[in-house]
Structure 1
Amino acid sequence: MIDYNYFEYQAKIIRTKFVSDKAYLTKRFVCKLGYTPNFCSPQSFNEKVTARMLFERSPLFTKLADKCAVRELIATKIDEAFFVPLVGAYKCFDEINFEQLPNQFVLKCTHDSGSAMVCRDKSGFDITAARAKIKNHLKMNMYFRKREWHYKDICPQILIEHFIDLYIDPKSHSTITTCRVHCFEGKPEFLEIDVQDTQGNDYSNMYNTDWELQPFRVDLKENSPSPLAKPQQLKDIIELSKKLCFTYGYSRIDFLLSQDHIYFSEITLTPNAGRMVITPAEWDFKLGSLWRSY
């Protein structure tokens, strides 16, 4: 069988030799957001995210993007009780002994996004399909796929984490799948809450830190039709974000919520590779104005 994904990936590697990061990101930016960016004097949020990708080449960014290294990096800032319990880290798929794994777990690579696989019942888990998917992801470098420089030098590994029963809203019975805290200049400003209702429909709500729904949306996601009750963990989420976010500039701190606990997920510095659709479009520039130190 011909692996078209492999050939597409190889073509992207070759493209980096002929198309600069700036030219590539500019073209993608215009196609997705509809305006010509100014990366030398950025004003909008997406311009500043992309300028960071082009001009800020800190080794710290690579450590933060590495799902294994970031645990060690932030262990001095927050208690390890806020980490999703780790089953193990592996260099290759065949090191994993599935008989020794818990019945529920999450399998993911350390160097990319999109590789995660959730197992809710080990007896029905397709190990053959998982092996093929993970081996494919281990061969690919996120830099060549999206030109996000900080992924380039991550050493690929496999992580297996314990499965977390996610928070269910007592009002709507919807599940909060992810909580993303957008922080500017050392201050949490907005919470992006991804929601899935009982029929499996996905939504996303943007709140301020007082849990007031905001008049803008991201990535064309609709607000949930039913209002969400303020989680009892909100204050702790904000306090943890203050401890983890950058003192200057922008950073996004992501969490998973269970019914009675908070778990750190990741620190994101370049959301959607600088092509996050923000509506109304004026909010792209309003958010950019909060990133004062760029």
Structure 2
Amino acid sequence: MLPAPLFLSLLHHKYIGRYPNLLRPTTFNEKILQKSLRPDPWLTELTDKLTVRDYVARKLGESHLIPLLAAPETFTKEVFDALPDSFVMKANHGSTYVKVVRNKSATSFEELRDLANHWLSLDFYKIGREKHYRPIKPRIFFEQLLLDESGNVPPDYKLQCFGAKSGRLVIYILVISDRFGADTRGDLYDVNWNHLDVVIGEYKPSENPPPRPDNLDAIVDAGIKLSADFDYVRVDLYSPNSQIYFGELTFTPGAGVLPFMPDRIDYEWGSLIPDAYLSITPSLRATSPGVR
């Protein structure tokens, strides 16, 4: 029932330990809160995990999209029966709505249907007041399950891309390992793969940080292409067996209440985002499909 600015200020104080300055934001989290409250309308199209695929195909190429198995208007038994033995079920309108199915015979249509219906009933906007999520029509879809050569879900490369639109690009790479396992870890690197002593959110660093991927240059290049229109965006990629696949674009990570250790990173990353920045080049918005 609280107005969004008050709700977010209280949430920020709870997780960050101070009240945000929403009028003159300086930290990373404050500027993310600003974007949550006043997003460009185009962000809805780019945040929707289905409609963003068209943008990625234009910028990076269709070969970098995870193969889409089904995106039904209604999840029925017929849809379930037509799916392969392994797949990933997702919802398009929020975060963490992901179900990995390695063996379809070990689950049931009813179990997945109930989970899908639960996701569809949730208003993701109410969780963190990220306004650009509000217009997204919730849908369930199914993608091919990506596995590396060891049969494991590949690491998630989250490229924090600052300043691309203004020509002062800075990239940090957060690597999430064992995301769906019992020992999920998060390791932060600079673009040259120097491991940084930084903790982001709930992700604790690994005792033995992941080695530099052989195709790091290609991963970074994909991030550069997908971030070119923005002053800040997080580009999520996967690279099983040296093939690069798109995960999602995130404009308001952690809903603006993402703790950093040390806390100075909140200020350092905030300085990389221009004050009162516009996330999208107006000329690109004018020519983008679906933008009015």
TM-score bracket for the superposition, by shorter chain length? 0.7 to 0.9
- The answer on 1:213 being equivalent to 2:195 is yes
Corresponding residue of 1:10: none
Q: 1:181·1:188 contact (CA, 8 Å) conserved in 2?
A: no
Counterparts of 1:90 and 1:217, CA distance in 2: 39
Q: In structure 2, what residue type is equivalent to 1:226?
A: N
Corresponding residue of 1:21: 4
Q: Deviations over 1:89-147 (max 9, x none)?
A: 11122275222211110011111222211110111123222111111111222112221
- The answer on 1:116 being equivalent to 2:98 is yes
Counterparts of 2:8 and 2:195, CA distance in 1: 32
Counterparts of 2:274 and 2:95, CA distance in 1: 29
- The answer on 1:45 being equivalent to 2:28 is yes
Q: 1:45·1:291 contact (CA, 8 Å) conserved in 2?
A: yes
Corresponding residue of 2:225: 243
Number of equivalences? 272
SS in 2 for 1:273: helix
SS in 1 for 2:218: helix
Q: 1:192·1:204 contact (CA, 8 Å) conserved in 2?
A: yes
Corresponding residue of 2:248: 266
1:181 CA drift (Å): 0.1
SS in 2 for 1:154: coil
Task: Indicate which of 52, 61, 72 corresponds to 1:70.
Answer: 52
Counterparts of 1:220 and 1:75, CA distance in 2: 32
SS in 2 for 1:238: helix
Q: 1:85·1:162 contact (CA, 8 Å) conserved in 2?
A: yes
Using a 3 Å threshold, how does the CA distance of structure 1 residues 152 and 73 change in structure 2: closer, same or farther? same
- The answer on 1:185 being equivalent to 2:163 is yes
1:153 CA drift (Å): 0.6
Q: In structure 2, what residue type is equivalent to 1:287?
A: W
1:159 CA drift (Å): 0.9
Using a 3 Å threshold, how does the CA distance of structure 1 residues 95 and 109 change in structure 2: closer, same or farther? farther
Q: Which runs of 4+ in 1 moved over 4 A?
A: 173-176
Counterparts of 1:46 and 1:167, CA distance in 2: 37
Task: Indicate which of 86, 101, 106 corresponds to 2:83.
Answer: 101
SS in 1 for 2:177: strand
1:74 CA drift (Å): 2.3
Unaligned ranges ≥5, structure 1: 1-14
SS in 2 for 1:90: coil
- The answer on 1:222 being equivalent to 2:204 is yes
Counterparts of 2:230 and 2:44, CA distance in 1: 18
Corresponding residue of 1:87: 69
SS in 2 for 1:222: coil
Task: Indicate which of 120, 126, 133 corresponds to 1:144.
Answer: 126
Q: 1:90·1:96 contact (CA, 8 Å) conserved in 2?
A: no
- The answer on 1:60 being equivalent to 2:38 is no
1:213 CA drift (Å): 0.5
Counterparts of 2:17 and 2:105, CA distance in 1: 48
Please say which of residues 93-102 and 211-220 is displaced more in the overlay: 93-102
1:175 CA drift (Å): 6.5
Q: 1:174·1:195 contact (CA, 8 Å) conserved in 2?
A: no
TM-score, scaled to structure 1: 0.87
Counterparts of 1:219 and 1:257, CA distance in 2: 23
Unaligned ranges ≥5, structure 2: 278-292
1:48 CA drift (Å): 0.4
